[in-house]
Structure 1
Amino acid sequence: MSHKRIPKRKAAIAAGSVAALGAAALFLPNAMASQTDSDDATASAKTFKAGDVSDLASQLASQLGDAFAGSYYDAANQQIIINVVGDNSNVINEIRAAGAVPNQVQNSTDALENAAATLKADATIPGTAWSVDPKTNEIRVTADSTVTGTSWDTLESTVEGLGSGVATITKSAGTFKTFVDGGDAIFGDGVRCSLGFNVTAGDGTPAFLTAGHCGVAVTEWSDAQNGEPIATVDQATFPGDGDFALVKYDDPATVAASAVNIGDGQTVEITQAAEAAVGQQVFRMGSTTGLFDGNVLGLDATVNYPEGTVTGLIQTDVCAEPGDSGGSLFTQDGSAIGLTSGGSGDCTVGGETFFQPVTTALEAVGATLGAGDAAGDDGAGVEDPGAVEPSDGASAPAAGDEEAGAGGDELGGAEGQSGNAGDGDGGLDDGSGLVNINP
């Protein structure tokens, strides 16, 4: 099979490209109320960024030992909340000395881990998921609409058997699925997914990350529907310990920007990979729905998809739809957080969505974030996301575009859905050095 060399300007495939975008104004802070039990404790606490949670929590976890019971971010007050079991004054003082807010809780880290292990052993049922929610100090268990009858009875009795205040069950109206069909960012053998983040593989060659279930489904990927392949899957994990794939560009001279295209000619430069923190505001870019924001709800999530169980995911309330698989989860300041895996619902009714942590994926495949830049191209700049003009707060495909509709006989839309106005080949090249695929 022939392989084409991508021009430098065309190779700058930013993560999660989309045909139209009306939610750029989502780059505004969302308020989230603190759930700590002491106003006095919050009054003297320092202010932090969400990206500080992982490092400070790790430091305190090593200091506090068994008393440490998780952490989360209070976005409204810009404070880090540290859960503790017991009322040891020395522990409380250590937390306050670090500038964090102590929050006394019932369940220890070991207790929640044991509860998750019991769920795995006794209630691994397709259509169920669970994650640790430090804000409630419980296991958040979710069952989709397929969990009924004896399956529901088994799940309910397992949760009840964990004891009071250890886990809660919620019902989802949708069904848990991977978002592999639909979309327009990368194409392969009847499947469409979204590019996550450009990276450099361990051997120094340019590559990108996407969802593992995309990498398992298709070996070769193109940047245009029915186009020639531009990249080949090197490694893929799904199901099991994650949902991620490393896809290497076929041309080793490819230069691809370390950026996320958020539409309307604007990008967010990706400068680092970071751990997610519960309570953190995040943004999700996908090739079907565009840009949406929300908050991290839980970590170390287990999801029982029809294809099998996936562990170690991030749970959020950010919506997603088919075709968004593999798309970027990131922060306003340019931290790569996750890759879209799957969930339930859509961007009309909402639902639960799960993401593969980028840090885990990078470590597993031996890659580093970033695959060069497009600095040599005229006009290739990175816009300040804070300068994005407000809109109606909803992101959607270009429904009014004859070439970008969601129907048709092909994969949810015509070939032009992934191209620019006037770019009839359906490619991602607008001559600017960065992706700009407005209708």
Structure 2
Amino acid sequence: MFDKILIANRGEIALRILRACKDMGVRTVAAHSTADAEAMHVRFADESICIGPPSATQSYLNIPALITACELTGAQAVHPGYGFLSEKAEFAQILEEHGLTFIGPKAEHIRLMGDKIAAKETMRRLGVPVVPGSEGGIDSDAEALAVAAEMGYPVLVKAAAGGGGRGMKVARSAEELPRALATARAEAKAAFGDDAVYLEKYLQKPRHIEVQLFADSHGNVVHLGERDCSLQRRHQKVMEESPSPALTPAQREEIGETVASAIRQLGYLGAGTIEFLYEDGRFYFIEMNTRIQVEHPVTEAIYDVDLVREQIRVAAGEKLSFRQKDLKPRGHAIECRINAENPKTFVPNPGLIKYFHAPGGLGVRLDSAIYEGYRIPPYYDSLIGKLIIHADSRAECLMRLRRALSEIVVDGVNTTLPLFEELIENPDIQAGDYDIHWLERWLASQTE
């Protein structure tokens, strides 16, 4: 096991990693920007080291600064969390070259799954169902029009190196397709430095279902059920739950075994999530995330496991601490992503936390790094916390969530907490009857 781990992230996930390390008796180094000098994980870490100014490109994305931080502190491994460098194959490769351990998958698998076209073809070859679409990148408008005509409209133009909804445009007719291609290419070039795009069939009312996977270096692979992440705004997840209200136990087991078999064949290592669109009883692979997910706590709740601890153990060469037969889900869990944003316009609202009160009680977990007197910096993502609720049933989970939302207080900045208070009173949400377009339709109806 490692003696010391450097945490190359910030906010709630940095604190989450720190807590797992402390539970294991592993010393921690908080690598932080000048803007995060007063962050909670920096205060709690065994050591801290400043890696640059507020700009992420000069700090959290600065690979030389992070390597130097490891050398100065004697850290043997780096946990990247999510975002920033967590899915940067180059970072994993450079750490290995410097004799440091990247707590995550192998660089080759990060690189493979980072190319959406190659990832789709790989999954197809390994027996995972995929969305109908082009076999590779689209080189011209003429080629795109031919592929779309064969598939039928509407179609989705997607960036090959994309994620988070960037470089993704819908074309509902041949007339719309050239413009969608040009816009998607421009967005992809700006966001990822790569303007390659491909086409997929645009599903009308799908759900977003993802399967949590884990693999060690001894050939052991498990799946930990699914999460339903269909409540989204602009392709960004807002609320997640597990198990999905849409799946049967048989479907859950079948898709879990299918993806576990696929990553076993890949020789994958560590935590990974395979994401699907699900419609009319069928799954369609869209991408694989080669890192811990923001929404991992809902899986932890129903399986009673520590996924970050398992990441560290597996990266250190140890065997998984559980087998497939040990993983028995219990109850239901829901996570709400709390952002420092206007709940109506979603404009970010960084600033000073004047008063803060956390909810509590049985089955209530709040992953957050804010505190009274903390100033939320304007330089990073607006996520300030995740409220995770666990109960024996979905109905009880919603009741407990209602109670927790009535207790939590964040004063001084706007947050999206009022949005969740409205959502849980909606009949569709209560019935579990929603798809990936539901939230945007509902938000649009609120402004009419």
TM-score, normalised by the number of residues in structure 1: 0.26
More helix by share: 2
